[in-house]
Amino acid sequence: MTHVDENSASVYGQRIRNLGENNSESLEVSYLHLAISKPILAYFLTNSPSAMLTIFDEVALNAILVYYPSYERIHSEVHVRITDLPLSSSLRDLRRSNLNNLVRVSGVVTRRTGVFPQLKYVKFDCRKCGAVLGPFYQDSTKEVKISYCPNCESKGPFAVNSEQTIYRNYQKMTLQESPGSVPPGRLPRHREVVLLWDLIDSAKPGEEIEITGIYRNNFDASLNSKNGFPVFSTIIEANHVNKKEDQFAAFRLTEEDEKEIRALARDDRIRKRIIKSIAPSIYGHEDIKTALALSLFGGVSKDIRRKMRIRGDINVLLLGDPGTAKSQFLKYVEKTAHRSVFATGQGASAVGLTASVRKDPVTREWTLEGGALVLADKGTCLIDEFDKMNDADRTSIHEAMEQQSISIAKAGIVTTLQARCAIIAAANPIRGRYNPTIPFTQNVELTEPILSRFDVLCVVKDAADPVQDELLARFVVGSHLRSHPKFEADKEEMDVGTTLDADLIPQDTLRKYIMYAREKIRPKLYDLDQEKLARLFSDLRRESLATGSYPITVRHLESMIRMAEASAKMALREYVRADDIDLAISVAVGSFVSTQKMSIKKTLERGFRKYLTQARDHEELLSFLLGQVVKEKVRLYQLQRHQQPEVISLKVSELEERAKEHDIFDVAPFLRSKLFAANGYSLHDGTISKAFKRGEEE
């Protein structure tokens, strides 16, 4: 209770308040806090946890009753959950010395049973005199039996009083070692885990979790008959379950996080900053980053009078030459999205993607198991090597991509499962490389029905451009130098050829931002420029029929509205503005034009230019070039003086010369931009200067 954080605010006072607001039954206590303030309790807790935890539960309930005097009406017991146990063991390392101790193990849940009531305190009725005897504490190892009634002094018979007996929830699950931690050439081991009270259903099969619990032996009669008498099976009685992906869940967002997110959203350039922060270790590919950002935020799904549902998720297809970081983008999204499932085209069958019916090994009944699309419900499903899938398997995704449900009629089970997920797929062209002289449909073996279900198509061509290739090479080398495990930022940053962009949003903050926007923000279509959208749609339809390369359907009009909503979500706005529509139009037109043949591409670009109001800004490229010039000056200074510079200054004309090599003739907007100031540059009388601290970059 007396433990405080850096701002001298009570940590557990706040946690108890949150517990009362949510009517929760569990109070999380950090082992590290306990070890600092009461080391003797921490020592006893690990060595005799079952006795200590019962005392902890009583004390916690008393502490809660100070805040909420009538809390016992809601929960008669409160359970202390121990988090941050410092020592972690693997399932195959649990030995005799761990018995009846507190252990922390991690693994993947493979099976779980249903939820059963387990006896905790038993009361008996005496059949002769009708007296109620008890309560007797029911231990988990042996059954409580009574043979004497103190009221009428008879020997029974006795029946369990089912009304006054106290039960608790009980569930068993099997935890298996996670595939990455198994020693080479061995099979993964598994253990039984028992979940009690409010921990039931806290993890489902397929999830990777970390369990803190008591390692006990379980008296099992069948083992005795098999192995001779004194052999016990062991179980882990869970005390705390922590999911790997729960660190960024919405319910974990604190008020400080919310303030930080709101402060970020007030920045005018927030959309550019988010797009730039998507996969920051990959250079360029602005169009793909924009598409992925829109897909991560997603539009608003609409339910028209409960009869018809229009999806809000944005599906993206990346198609392009090998070596253009398509799979890297997918892997990045898998790490960033709150809920994501990754599958490859060759390793995924129709059943694996949708749902399968199998016989349960325990109950011998037919049960339904969700595939990748069902597991990714309200998240993102990533499919790599999309072109390598069989046609029969690919058609199974049709319903999931538009109606967002999966209908099943197998083995007497007729049902519909929800699959409200965005699909991001990556594919290679037929001949390995994309051929720009032939239409898009001849480049890829995908049918029209599936192509029309993708909102954005990103065609990535690996074009040779000496200037861009040099920048790319410098970026990659700089990224490798920085990512080395022994890289010391304050000493070695000067030796890297590229500068770090101070405008990037940290990845943890970005995950929280995306979670917050998806949960809380539902932008409305307000004052929509309907004329513009109608004209654009008719123009796109006309050109699509004329060129015959890529079909434009009504779905693409809906997808433009979805993208406009996602763009408004990026800025946490409650309504869609004109610039959101412009971004959606530029992505839609860009994706249509990029699929055309080389010969008609230029004319189409000219024809659609009237819809693209925002000109391309060169801020990012200029920032990159300026960073290079500054680094060159720093290196020269170091070679001459053998020490770090305090201030580096250069003339604006030097930057203009570099910019002209890249066909940029006006650097004035960049010098006035927030990006220029964010990276620590200042401008005085035609001279750009940047200050460095001694020994490190500012």
Q: How far apart are CA 84 and CA 98, in angstroms?
A: 18
Which letter, b or e, does each residue of 178-188 get, where b requires 16 or more Cβ atoms within 10 Å of its Cβ?
beeebeeeeeb
List all residues 6 or more positions away from 69 whose beta carbon is below 8 Å from its beta carbon. Answer: none
Average pLDDT of the residues in 571-577 = 84
Give the domain 279-462 fold: Rossmann fold (3.40.50)
Q: Is the pLDDT of residue 111 over 80?
A: no
Per residue in 494-547, pLDDT tens? 666 566 666 678 888 888 888 888 888 888 887 677 777 888 888 888 877 777
Q: What percent of the chain has pLDDT over 70?
A: 87
Confidence of residue 250 (pLDDT cuts 50, 70, 90): very low
What is the pLDDT averaged over residues 52-64? Answer: 83
The whole-chain average pLDDT of the chain stands at: 77
pLDDT of residue 220: 60
pLDDT digits (tens, 9 = 90+) for 476-499: 887 787 777 777 766 666 666 566
pTM reported for the whole predicted model: 0.71
Among all chains, which residue has been given the structure tokens 């650097």?
Answer: 667
* Segment 328-345, tens digit of pLDDT: 888 888 888 877 788 887
**The domain over range 102-249 is classified in CATH as 2.40.50.140:** yes
Lowest-confidence pick of 101-115, 277-291, 662-676 = 662-676
| pLDDT tens digits along 169-220 | 888 888 888 766 777 877 778 888 888 888 888 877 767 788 888 888 776 6
pLDDT computed for residue 9 by the predictor: 66
DSSP state of 433: S
Going by pLDDT thresholds of 50, 70 and 90, the confidence category of residue 613 is: low
What three-state secondary structure class fits 230? coil
- Listed residue (110, 250, 303) closest to 193, CA to CA: 110
What are the helix and strand counts (H, E) for the chain? 26, 24
Closest-CA residue to 348 (of 328, 331, 373): 373
Helices (H), 177-300: 221-227, 255-265, 270-277, 286-297
Task: Summarize the confidence of residues 143-164 as an average pLDDT.
Answer: 73
What is the pLDDT confidence band of residue 71, given thresholds at 50, 70 and 90? confident
pLDDT (0 to 100) of residue 519? 81
Q: How far is CA 506 from the centre of its chain?
A: 15
d(CA 270, CA 280): 15
Strand 316-320 and strand 340-344: pairing?
unpaired
Alpha helices (H) along 48-122: 49-67
Amino acid 248: pLDDT: 47
Q: 179: cis peptide before it, omega within 30°?
A: no
Rounded CA-CA distance 65/72 in Å is 8
pLDDT category at 57 given cuts 50, 70, 90 is confident
Distance separating alpha carbons of residues 511 and 517, to the nearest angstrom: 10
pLDDT of amino acid 349: 73
Mean pLDDT of 616-631: 73
What is the percent of the chain where pLDDT is above 90? 0
For residue 548, which amino acid is it?
G
Partnered with residue 459 across adjacent β-strands are 319
Q: Which of 129-138, 191-200, 316-325, 645-654 has the lowest average pLDDT? A: 129-138
pLDDT tens figures, 360-380? 666 677 777 777 777 777 788
- Whether 697 has a pLDDT exceeding 50, the answer reads no
- Of the listed ranges 204-208, 227-231, 619-623, 663-667, the least confidently predicted one is 227-231
Q: Where are the alpha helices (DSSP H) in 279-418?
A: 286-297, 326-336, 350-353, 372-375, 391-395, 397-402
Please tell me which residue, 235 or 642, carries the higher pLDDT value. 235
The secondary element (H helix, E strand) that includes residue 514 is helix 507-520
Is 3.30.1640.10 the CATH number for 11-83?
Answer: yes
Q: Is the pLDDT of residue 694 over 70?
A: no
pLDDT band of residue 578 (cuts 50, 70, 90) is: confident
